[in-house]
Structures are given as structure tokens and as C-alpha cells.
Amino acid sequence: MTLRLPRRGLAQALALIVILMVDRVVSPQFFNLHLQDGRLFGSVIDVLNRGTPVALLSLGMVLVIATGGIDLSVGAVMAIAGATAASLADAHSLPVVLLAALGVGLLCGLWNGILVAVLRIQPIVATLILMVAGRGIAQLITEGRIVTFTSPDLVWLGNGAVLGLPTPVAIAIGMLLLTAAVVRGSALGLLIEATGGNARASELSGVGTRTMILAVYVWCGICAALAGVIAAADIMGADANNAGLWLELDAILAVVIGGTSLFGGRFSLVLAVAGALIIQAMNTGILLSGYPPELNLLVKAVVVLAVLLVQSPRLSDLSGIMARWRSKKP
Amino acid sequence: MTFKALLAASATAALMLAHSASAAQLTIGFSQIGSESGWRAAETSVSKQEAAKRSVNFKIADAQQKQENQIKAIRSFIAQGVDAIFLAPVVASGWDAVLKEAKEAKIPVVLLDRDIDPSGKDLYLTAVTSDSVHEGEVAGDWLAKTVGDKACNIVELQGTVGASVATNRKKGFDTAVAKHPNLKVVRSQTGDFTRAKGKEVMESFIKAENGGKSICAVYAHNDDMMVGAIQAMKEAGLKPGKDILTVSIDAVPDIFKAIAAGEANATVELTPNMAGPALDAVIAYKEKGTTPPKWIQTESKLYTAADDPQKVYDSKKGLGY
């Protein structure tokens, strides 16, 4: 198992390296770094920093997908959590603001979890409800305006630095380590994979599949809330209309690029985060390139297709057949 | 159909008689799109103020972004026999039938903020809209005047790709800047009209343009993207408003805070006061019978630090932006 891991990540590592190299070509100063106000400054840091929200979302999403589910509501949960944090920021201390925002995320996750695990509604439908309603809830909190705040503590979450790294990046690394420690340091990861692999068989062999499913949606909600707080802290305001808009799709894409099957049954946290970085490295590259914005989505689609093709088992079979066919020819 | 029209006409006639008896207070129905943005909320509150100023009885129907709700609202205004109908159309097409009903009931319709398909031109009295090409020109002209003969590299934050406002604001700015060979748009990317994307795009512009040292000015298609870009410049150790000039469009309250702090230079107003000129046109039409032009263009006023930004901020803050 441990021996197979490096091979599993090969496609993602290659894709990330190739994209970073392309970024270096379109923008020669891509790898330049310097300190600016005690914080590292450069395009690579931008990739990490801007990739944080999707990386955090993918940490929750990958576990949900591992159980065979999906969570479409994460973008809306980001908006709700951001709105909550922004409206409390100037009147309360950071711990209160964070607890409230993450608490809201937990409740959203619990709602999704109950719909899926207890009421047995199909995940895509169950989470669609909050995806649609959630943005409305966020707009109710902000009354349709962009709620701005000046609380330096909350602003630090978005724009501060920890050991030179932007705070969001440090938070994302912390969350990755925490999630990995919890699910891979115990049998939890295996139980989640078992639930996704064959829920009935797992149930019969004593796995609490209902609890597993409930737990992954709750964790997904908390991760989304954290991403929402960071997104709000970044622009010193909560924009309920736009915060996290369509990011659920980027998060799912990150998980898929990370080699996790949408059918569930296996997952990799590190590769999901790598998927998020691949997406962001591509986005940043497009912005640096100076191509007209009409090409943005096209370039993105082509790159994603290429990354997924490289991973396709059929394609490697096909190239093997081609090689054999060629060697047979005199 | 004819019977219906007759009924509607007689109802209107009866109401008009009732009205002429009770002095000349006008009743106007306003079918508003909804409240999808801060600007829209401000437009609604300014409309109420302007109507109150002219002591017009003003009824607002919020359509929640749905054309069928707007059509329902217009039908109910016709049934109530209002003196005029204001319509901020959510989409450009599909208005012919209901506007014909209004025309048959002899109720003038005034379009606010957005136009409809050319097929309906004879179905409304006038349209009060801003000219987004002109807004871009005002921004470009200000920049050209401020920069003078110095060479100036401009970076542009575009609105959502394909949105007509974005296309027009780009076109107007490009036209104005093309007259000055020393001004050059070196980079142009979409920031989707949002603060977060405006900030992200500006971060990459700064890196791509020698740490921002070769950027002389930023032009953003709306103020929200500029607010994000200002943060990006500050985080990169640049002084927005001094090292890099800024000009954007919309005139939302937060940009005045930035102008007051010396971190932004100029904004072109997309006035939320579309109802004021519309009310004047309707009152003149009703009282003197003067037919207004088919298009009333609102003023695209330019604001800079010379216009007491703090005061403008205070006056705009309460409007719902």
C-alpha cells in the first residue's frame, strides 16, 4: 500500500511541475520571492494563497466523495460563514467570531448529513437544497450589501503572516495535517473508504456507516466555513452574492484531479490539495500571461482535460497496445 | 379584446375624472427588477425620495428578478389606472403585449436604467438610461488630462466577459485613450465585477509588471474591483492614488472612503437617480403635453478628491448600497 502511493501521485506531481514550468515561461519572474512587510511576496505565494479556499474545500469534499457522496453546498456555506464573521467582526473578539462562523458551518454540514445519512436523500439533491438556499441566507445576513469590517484580528486571518507565509496558507497546512492525523492516524480513513466502497457490507461488518456519513458532511461544512471566513478576511468584507460562487465545482475538480473516484471507496488528502494547487497554478498563470480574458475558460478546460487524460487507465492501456503494435512491425 | 380595452379605457377615464377632481396629484407605478445589487437598492430608495420631492404618489412593485412578476405588476398598475408606469426591465424582449395594453389604456410608460428591444420603441414614452460607453470615455478623458504628456502604462480590470456594460465601458475608455499616444493599456483581464477577483487579478498584474513599478494607472470597470485592487497595491507596498493612479466607475460609497483616504483618485457616477429625470418628463408631458426625447441620458458625473468625498460618502451610505 505504502509502496503504491508514490506511483498514485505521479500524474499530479508531473502536472503541477509542468504547469509551474509553463507559468515560468509566460512570466519570467514567476519564482522570484522577496519579503514585503514580513510576508513572502511573489507569484508562487499567490498560487498558494489564492489556492487556499479551494484547498480547504477539497479537504472536506474529498472525504464526502470517499463515502460516495458529494457536497454542492460548500460555496454557499462559504458565503454564510463569511457573512456571519463580517457582521460580528467589529463588535466581538476573534475567538467568538470564529466560533460563530465555524458553528454555522457545522450546522450546515449537519443539515446535509442528516438529509443524506438519516433521510437517505441522494447527496447531489440533498446538498443542492443548501446550495440554492444558502446564498439567500447569506444575503439575508448581509441585507444584500457588502458588509465591511476593520477588526485587525480578522483582517490578519486573510492578510497576515505566520513565519513569512500568508496566514491562509499556514491555516491550510494546519488543516491538512490535522485532517490527515485524524483520518489516517486512526482507522477512521479506512472506515470512510469502506462506507464508500460498499455501504451494506460495511454496515454488516459493524461499521457505523450512518455516523461516518454524518461526520464527513459536518467536517466538510466546517472546512467550507473556514474557507469562507478567510475569503471575507481577504477582502475585509463579506460579499454574499459572489463569495465562493462556483467554488464547489472547483473543489470537486480538485478532488477528481487528485485521483479520487466519484464512486467513493478510496481517497487521498494530499493529492486533493495538490489538485487545488494545480487549478490555482493554472489560474495564476492565465492572469500573468496577458492573454485576453475570453480565453480563460478555454485554457482551463484544455489543461484539465489533459491532466485527467494522463490519469485515465484506458489511455495507458491504449499506449501499451500501441507500443506493442509498433514493436511487432518490422 | 375590444371589449376588454373598452373596459380598461372606461375604468381609466373614470379614475382620471376622479383624479382631476382631487387636484393634480399624480400616481405613478414603478415595476422595479428586485434588489440584486447595492446599486439597485440605492435606485429604489432614491426613486422614493425623488417622488416625495415632487409630491407624487409612488407605488413600487419588486419583481424579484422575474419578468412574469413585472408583467403582473404592470397589469395591476393598468387596472388601478395609474397616471404613468416606470419600468426597469429585467430582460430586453417580451414586453410588446403588456406595453400595448398600457398604450391602449393611454398610460405612458417610462423605461428606467435599461432599454428594451427596438421592436417596442413606439410602445413607451421615453427611456432614462446611462450611456456606459460615455462612462468609459469620461474615465479615459480624466486620466488623459491628469497624466498630461507623460508616458503612462495602464492596466485594466474588466467586468464579466460578455456583459454589455463591460464591453461598453471598455469601448468608451479605449476610444478616449486612443487619442493620446502616450497612454497605453498594457494589461487587461476580467475581475468579474467582484472585490475578490479584482484583488487577485491586480496581484498578478503587479507581479507581471515589474512589481508594479511600470504601472502608472489602473482602470476598473466598477468600484468594487478597484477596492480589491487598492488592497492588492497596499499589500505589495505600493501607494494607490500616488504611485499608481486609479479611476473606476459606479461611485459606490466605499470608493469615496478610499478617495477621502487618498488611496483612490477618481470615480465616474452611474447615478441611482434615474427616477428624477423620468418624473420631470412625465410631469411635463401630463401638464404641458411636451413629448420628451426617446432617450434621456443621465449625467455621468466624475468625482475626485476635490468633491468632498467624505460628504458624498455620508450622503450615499444610507441609500442601501
Say how far apart CA B85 and CA A248 lie, in whole Å: 42
ipTM of the complex model? 0.91
Q: Do residue A279 and residue A327 come from a single domain?
A: no
Say how far apart CA B23 and CA B43 lie, in whole Å: 29
3-state SS track over B151-169:
CEEEEEEECCCCCHHHHHH
Instruction: Give the model confidence (pLDDT) of A98-141 as tens digits.
Output: 999 999 999 999 999 999 999 999 999 999 999 999 999 999 99
Q: Do residues B43 and B73 lie in contact, with contact meaning Cβ atoms separated by under 8 Å?
A: no
Q: Do residues A179 and A269 lie in contact, with contact meaning Cβ atoms separated by under 8 Å?
A: yes
Instruction: For chain A, say whether B49 makes contact (Cβ under 8 Å).
Output: no
Domains, chain B, ranges and CATH?
3-129+272-290 (3.40.50.2300), 132-270+307-312 (3.40.50.2300)
Question: CA of B196 to nearest chain A CA: how many angstroms apart?
Answer: 6
- Chain B neighbors of A146, CB-CB under 8 A: 38, 195, 224, 254
For chain B, the average pLDDT equals 91
The pair phi, psi for residue B37, each rounded to 5°, is: -140, 165
Instruction: For chain A, say whether B158 makes contact (Cβ under 8 Å).
Output: yes
* Helical spans, DSSP H, in A36-187: 43-66, 74-89, 94-113, 123-142, 152-159, 167-184
Q: Do residue A275 and residue A316 come from a single domain?
A: no
Among the listed residues B197, B240, B203, the one whose alpha carbon sits nearest the alpha carbon of residue B218: B240
Q: Do residue A311 and residue A170 come from a single domain?
A: no
Say how far apart CA A17 and CA A25 lie, in whole Å: 12
Contacts of A109 by beta carbon, 8 Å cutoff, 6+ apart: A60, A77, A217, A218, A219, A220, A221, A222, A224
Instruction: For chain B, say whether A237 makes contact (Cβ under 8 Å).
Output: yes
Q: Which residue has the higher pLDDT, A320 or B285?
A: B285
Say how far apart CA B278 and CA B47 lie, in whole Å: 10
Instruction: For chain A, say whether B214 makes contact (Cβ under 8 Å).
Output: no
Q: Which residue has the higher pLDDT, B36 or A187?
A: A187
The DSSP bridge pattern shows strands B152-158 and B217-220 to be parallel
The pLDDT of residue B16 is above 80: no
Q: Do residues A86 and A100 lie in contact, with contact meaning Cβ atoms separated by under 8 Å?
A: no
Q: Do residues A244 and A53 lie in contact, with contact meaning Cβ atoms separated by under 8 Å?
A: yes
Domain annotation covers residue A66: yes
Q: Do residue A309 and residue A283 come from a single domain?
A: no
Q: Do residues A61 and A275 lie in contact, with contact meaning Cβ atoms separated by under 8 Å?
A: no
Q: Do residue A271 and residue A305 come from a single domain?
A: no
The helix or strand, by DSSP H or E, that contains position B53, with its residue range, turns out to be: helix B38-53
Which residues 5-44 of B are in CB contact (within 8 Å) with A? 35-38, 41
Which residue carries 489560474 as its cell? A283
Cα A241 to the center of its chain, rounded Å:
20
Instruction: For chain B, say whether A242 makes contact (Cβ under 8 Å).
Output: yes
Contact between chains at B190 and A243 (C-beta distance less than 8 A): no
Question: CA of B134 to nearest chain A CA: how many angstroms apart?
Answer: 23
Domain annotation covers residue A29: no
Q: What domain range is A213 assigned to?
A: 41-290
pLDDT, average across residues B107-127: 89
Contact between chains at A288 and B207 (C-beta distance less than 8 A): yes
Joined together, the cell numbers standing for residue A212 give 461516518
Tell me which chain A residue has its CA closest to the CA of residue B211.
A42
The pLDDT of residue A271 is above 50: yes
**CA separation, residue B20 to residues A285, B25, B26, B54 (Å):** 68, 9, 10, 17
Contacts of A112 by beta carbon, 8 Å cutoff, 6+ apart: A71, A73, A123, A126, A127, A130, A217, A220, A221
Q: Which of A46-60, B18-32, B281-295 has the lowest mean pLDDT?
A: B18-32
Instruction: Give the model confidence (pLDDT) of A41-93 as tens digits.
Output: 999 999 999 999 999 999 999 999 999 999 999 999 999 999 999 999 999 99
Q: Which of A39, A239, A290 sits opposite B187 (nearest CB)?
A: A290
Joined together, the cell numbers standing for residue A194 give 469502506
The pLDDT of residue A247 is above 60: yes
Q: Which of A43, A145, A239 sits opposite B194 (nearest CB)?
A: A239
pLDDT, average across residues B64-72: 92
Domain annotation covers residue A24: no
The helix or strand, by DSSP H or E, that contains position A34, with its residue range, turns out to be: strand A34-36
Instruction: Give the model confidence (pLDDT) of B255-274 as tens digits.
Output: 999 999 999 999 999 999 99
Say how far apart CA A60 and CA A67 lie, in whole Å: 12
Domain annotation covers residue A304: yes
Instruction: For chain B, say whether A71 makes contact (Cβ under 8 Å).
Output: no
- Chain B neighbors of A167, CB-CB under 8 A: none
Tell me the range of A66-70, B116-120, B315-319 where mean pLDDT is highest: A66-70
Instruction: For chain A, say whether B261 makes contact (Cβ under 8 Å).
Output: no
Q: Do residue A63 and residue A114 come from a single domain?
A: yes
Q: How much is the CA Rg of chain B, to the nearest whole Å?
A: 22
**Banded model confidence at residue B12, pLDDT cuts 50, 70, 90:** low
Instruction: Give the model confidence (pLDDT) of B220-247 as tens digits.
Output: 999 999 999 999 999 999 999 999 999 9
- Give residue A201's pLDDT: 95
Q: Do residue A167 and residue A269 come from a single domain?
A: yes
- Chain B neighbors of A24, CB-CB under 8 A: none
- Give residue A3's pLDDT: 39
Q: Which of A288, A294, A296 sits opposite B208 (nearest CB)?
A: A288
Question: CA of A274 to nearest chain B CA: how many angstroms apart?
Answer: 20
Split into its structural domains, chain A has a count of 2
pLDDT, average across residues A240-264: 94
Q: Which residue has the higher pLDDT, B166 or A327?
A: B166
Which residue carries 408631458 as its cell? B285
Say how far apart CA B112 and CA B124 lie, in whole Å: 11
The pLDDT of residue B22 is above 60: no
Q: Do residues B240 and B266 lie in contact, with contact meaning Cβ atoms separated by under 8 Å?
A: no
Contact between chains at B189 and A144 (C-beta distance less than 8 A): no
The DSSP bridge pattern shows strands A165-166 and A161-162 to be antiparallel
- Give residue B11's pLDDT: 54
Contact between chains at B208 and A235 (C-beta distance less than 8 A): no
Domain annotation covers residue A97: yes
Q: Do residue A262 and residue A324 come from a single domain?
A: no
Contact between chains at B189 and A287 (C-beta distance less than 8 A): yes
**Banded model confidence at residue A4, pLDDT cuts 50, 70, 90:** very low
Burial of residue B23 (CB within 10 Å: 0-12, 13-18, 19+) is exposed
Joined together, the cell numbers standing for residue B171 give 469601448
Contact between chains at A41 and B236 (C-beta distance less than 8 A): yes
Tell me which chain B residue has its CA closest to the CA of residue A155.
B231
**Banded model confidence at residue B17, pLDDT cuts 50, 70, 90:** very low
- Chain B neighbors of A42, CB-CB under 8 A: 207
Among the listed residues B303, B218, B220, the one whose alpha carbon sits nearest the alpha carbon of residue B259: B303
Q: Do residue A194 and residue A320 come from a single domain?
A: no
Joined together, the cell numbers standing for residue B310 give 467624505
Give the percent of chain A with pLDDT over 90.
83
- Give residue A8's pLDDT: 80
The pLDDT of residue A315 is above 90: no
Q: Which of A36, A43, A144 sits opposite B237 (nearest CB)?
A: A36
Give the percent of chain B with pLDDT over 90.
82
Report the residue of B40, B189, B319 to disrupt the A interface, i.e. the one with the largest count of A CBs within 10 Å.
B189
- Give residue B35's pLDDT: 74
Q: Which residue has the higher pLDDT, A5 or A102?
A: A102
Say how far apart CA A115 and CA A127 lie, in whole Å: 8
Tell me which chain B residue has its CA closest to the CA of residue A35.
B236
Instruction: Give the model confidence (pLDDT) of A195-219 as tens digits.
Output: 999 999 999 999 999 999 999 999 9
Q: Do residue A323 and residue A248 come from a single domain?
A: no
**CA separation, residue B208 to residues A159, A289, B155, B204 (Å):** 21, 8, 11, 6
**Banded model confidence at residue B4, pLDDT cuts 50, 70, 90:** low
**Banded model confidence at residue A330, pLDDT cuts 50, 70, 90:** low
Contact between chains at B200 and A148 (C-beta distance less than 8 A): no
pTM of the model: 0.89
- Give residue B265's pLDDT: 98
The pLDDT of residue B21 is above 80: no
Q: Tell me which amino acid residue B252 is.
A: V
Q: Do residue A327 and residue A249 come from a single domain?
A: no
Q: Do residue A280 and residue A132 come from a single domain?
A: yes
**CA separation, residue A8 to residues A3, A14, A54, A190 (Å):** 10, 11, 21, 17
pLDDT, average across residues B69-86: 96
Domain annotation covers residue A243: yes
Contact between chains at A235 and B203 (C-beta distance less than 8 A): no
Which residue carries 437598492 as its cell? B41
Domain annotation covers residue A8: no
Q: How much is the CA Rg of chain A, to the nearest whole Å?
A: 21
Q: Which of A1-5, B82-86, B140-144 has the lowest mean pLDDT?
A: A1-5
Give the percent of chain B with pLDDT over 70.
93
Report the residue of B33, B39, B44, B195 to disrupt the A interface, i.e. the one with the largest count of A CBs within 10 Å.
B195
The pLDDT of residue B15 is above 60: no
- Chain B neighbors of A144, CB-CB under 8 A: 35-38, 41, 320
Question: CA of B188 to nearest chain A CA: how many angstroms apart?
Answer: 7
Question: CA of A293 to nearest chain B CA: how many angstroms apart?
Answer: 5
Domain annotation covers residue A25: no
**Banded model confidence at residue B162, pLDDT cuts 50, 70, 90:** confident
A vs B: CB pairs below 8 A: 82
Say how far apart CA A226 and CA A100 lie, in whole Å: 11
The DSSP bridge pattern shows strands A39-41 and A34-36 to be antiparallel
- Chain A neighbors of B33, CB-CB under 8 A: none
- Give residue B9's pLDDT: 56
Contact between chains at B231 and A145 (C-beta distance less than 8 A): no
**CA separation, residue B79 to residues B5, B46, B123, B282 (Å):** 11, 26, 18, 19
Contact between chains at A146 and B38 (C-beta distance less than 8 A): yes
